[in-house]
Chain A
Amino acid sequence: QVQLVQSGAEVKKPGASVKVSCKASGYTFTSYGISWVRQAPGQGLEWMGWISAYNGNTNYAQKLQGRVTMTTDTSTSTAYMELRSLRSDDTAVYYCARDWTTVTSVCGYWGQGTLVTVSS
């Protein structure tokens, strides 16, 4: 079965960077894209960007352009999301999510979420 297992909670200071991992199993990693979605406490879902696990092509939300980088390691079937210059309003649960099908980019399978807390 498809599983996405994310790295553990992080506490960071303002201005620092965080890198969250998402290890995939149960399917051919390079056949599907991965989106990253975040949710601030008590708030709605915010799409951060998407990466093709096939060729590494990315599309980032305009709001995060220049601060976010998404990568994949096909040898370990792992996707990564790095966010730099962290601010307090980056405090959120960060999710990775796999495309539902090879041609449908909706978030069909989700990781368990990683809480990132930004605090001085």
Chain B
Amino acid sequence: DIQMTQSPSSLSASVGDRVTITCRASQGISNYLAWYQQKPGKVPKLLIYAASTLQSGVPSRFSGSGSGTDFTLTISSLQPEDVATYYCQKYNSAPPGLTFGGGTKVEIK
């Protein structure tokens, strides 16, 4: 099974800072990588799929990049409403098998 490893597991940054979260797959997954945001006590929300495609309505300060085994989620200017845990997820088809990373908790300093 492909394993997904996120780093760091948590971070604290100031409002306006650029924040970068990395996700590494144990095998190449092309661009079959999604990012989710889960605010405290809330249901997860899809932010990005196909490694870099922003879901409709997601602020443009969020971006994703990468292919193969190494991926990045970037928040260009951290806002208070971005406090959440972020998860990467690999996905594939025929039949779909999904694996989540361990999560990265983002807090405001």
Contacts and interface: CB of A to CB of B under 8 A. Distances in A.
Contacts of A108: 46, 55
Interface string B34-67: 1010100001111001100001000000000000
B44 A33 contact: no
A45 interface: yes
Contact of B96 (A45, A46, A59, A95): A59
B96 A33 contact: yes
Interface residues of B, number: 26
Most buried by A among B38, B89, B95, B102: B95
Contacts of A50: 95-98
Contacts, number: 70
A105 interface: yes
A27 B102 CA distance: 31
Interface in A19-63: 33, 35, 37, 44-47, 50, 52, 57-59, 62
B100 A44 contact: yes
Contacts of A47: 89, 97-100
Interface of B: 1, 34, 36, 38, 43-46, 49-50, 55, 85, 87, 89, 91-93, 95-103
